[in-house]
Chains A and B, each alone.
Chain A
Amino acid sequence: MAGITTHILDSERGRPAPGVRIDFSVMEEGRWRLVKSVVTNADGRTDTPILPAAEAKIGQYQLEFFIDGYLKSRPGVSEADIFVDNPVVRFAVFDAKQHYHVPMLCTPGNCTTYRGS
């Protein structure tokens, strides 16, 4: 399976983060072009891959996670405590035959991302 997928996890609660907008962009001629905006489902994932296998190609990609609204909606979270509100992850697909799973683990004060599987 090739392409790009993601997953937003609220790592403070150990639960998926639903209803979070993600903007997916690709680098073209030195600029980021917005490909699509998607929203996470109840499992914190997207219903379809961010980039389907059939469209996978080498390049620079960007995921912007609009998690501030999700964090603010949580009971007990003060807006003043949200240090990481809209993290952006930029990464390369360097081999179009491989799969790139790029999770976002977040809390109000922290975020973590990595090449997952």
Chain B
Amino acid sequence: MNHPPERPDLTRRSLVGAGLAGIGLGGTVAATGTVLAQGAPAPAPAQPGALNTGPTMQSGLGPRLTMHAIDNFHGTPGAGMVCDLSVREGDTYRPIKTITTGANGRSPEPLLIDDALKTGRYELLMHVEEYFARIGVALPSPNFLSLVPIRFHIRDASQRYHLPILFTPWGYSYYRGS
């Protein structure tokens, strides 16, 4: 099965700059100036998304696919998350578009809207390791989660689909929202 190209620069990202090279991350590791994802308590994050946005109500809107990335490690929107949307065709996924979430953790426009929303199996590939590295979270190398495939099935193109994704460096949850 083919997928969008893997990014080995992310999967084998060096932590030399963070001073963690060669250190086992099985437990809490002290590192000045970095936020640790494994081991608690963690100090305040360097630069997570600002929490100054409100919820969005979409009741009554037409067919569309929208998404919302929520950083459950920091309790903020997942701002600046790169996401690759693709649709399954046969045994492969065909890329449709790549977006970066805004300050509210949402894509700037609906991922698909009106006639562009078709039934089928979709994948939203979230660049989670890159997201946490960018805001200064110290992670193992390679991190437990790097490129996270969010797969879902749109079965009725006349409906509205909302896709919230709650993520941390160690897990994620997604669901059909509203």
Q: Annotate A63-88 by CB proximity to B: 1 below 8 A, 0 otherwise.
A: 00000000000000001101111111
Identify which of residues 156-178 in chain B touch chain A, using a CB-to-CB cut-off of 8 Å: 156, 161, 168, 170-176
Residues B145 and A110 in contact, CB atoms below 8 Å apart:
no
Please measure, in the bound complex, the distance between the C-alpha atom of A82 and the C-alpha atom of B155, giving whole angstroms.
9
Please measure, in the bound complex, the distance between the C-alpha atom of A82 and the C-alpha atom of B156, giving whole angstroms.
11
Q: Give chain A residues whose Cβ lies under 8 Å from the Cβ of B142.
A: 60, 92, 94
Q: Annotate A96-117 by CB proximity to B: 1 below 8 A, 0 otherwise.
A: 0110100001000111111100
Q: Give chain A residues whose Cβ lies under 8 Å from the Cβ of B148.
A: 90
Q: Give chain B residues whose Cβ lies under 8 Å from the Cβ of A97.
A: 24, 26
Residues B146 and A92 in contact, CB atoms below 8 Å apart:
yes
Q: A95 interface residue, CB < 8 Å from B?
A: yes
Please measure, in the bound complex, the distance between the C-alpha atom of A91 and the C-alpha atom of B174, giving whole angstroms.
17
Please measure, in the bound complex, the distance between the C-alpha atom of A87 and the C-alpha atom of B172, giving whole angstroms.
12
Q: How many residues of A contact B (CB 8 A)?
A: 29
Query: Can you identify 11 A-B contacts, CB atoms within 8 angstroms?
Result: A60-B6, A82-B153, A84-B152, A85-B153, A90-B148, A92-B146, A94-B143, A110-B173, A110-B176, A113-B171, A114-B172
B contacts, CB < 8 Å to A: 1, 3, 6, 8, 11, 24-26, 121, 140-149, 151-153, 155-156, 161, 168, 170-176
Shortest CB-to-CB span from B91 to chain A, Å, is: 12
Residues A111 and B144 in contact, CB atoms below 8 Å apart:
no
Residues A95 and B174 in contact, CB atoms below 8 Å apart:
no
Residues B6 and A91 in contact, CB atoms below 8 Å apart:
no
Residues A94 and B145 in contact, CB atoms below 8 Å apart:
no
Q: Give chain A residues whose Cβ lies under 8 Å from the Cβ of B141.
A: 94
Known contacts being A91-B145, A95-B26, is A109 close to B171, with CB within 8 Å? no
> Which 8 residue pairs of A and B lie closest in terms of their CB atoms, listed nearest first?
A114-B171, A110-B175, A112-B173, A83-B176, A92-B142, A94-B140, A109-B176, A115-B170
Residues B151 and A84 in contact, CB atoms below 8 Å apart:
yes
Task: With A79-B155, A95-B25 given, name 6 new contacts (CB 8 A).
Answer: A32-B1, A80-B156, A85-B152, A87-B151, A94-B144, A111-B174
Residues B149 and A90 in contact, CB atoms below 8 Å apart:
yes
Known contacts being A27-B6, A95-B25, A110-B175, is A84 close to B153, with CB within 8 Å? yes
Q: A14 interface residue, CB < 8 Å from B?
A: no
Q: Give chain B residues whose Cβ lies under 8 Å from the Cβ of A92.
A: 11, 140, 142-146
* Closest Cβ neighbor of B149 among chain A residues: A88
Residues B153 and A90 in contact, CB atoms below 8 Å apart:
no
Q: Give chain A residues whose Cβ lies under 8 Å from the Cβ of B25.
A: 94-95
Q: Give chain B residues whose Cβ lies under 8 Å from the Cβ of A84.
A: 151-153, 174-176
Please measure, in the bound complex, the distance between the C-alpha atom of A109 and the C-alpha atom of B156, giving whole angstroms.
14
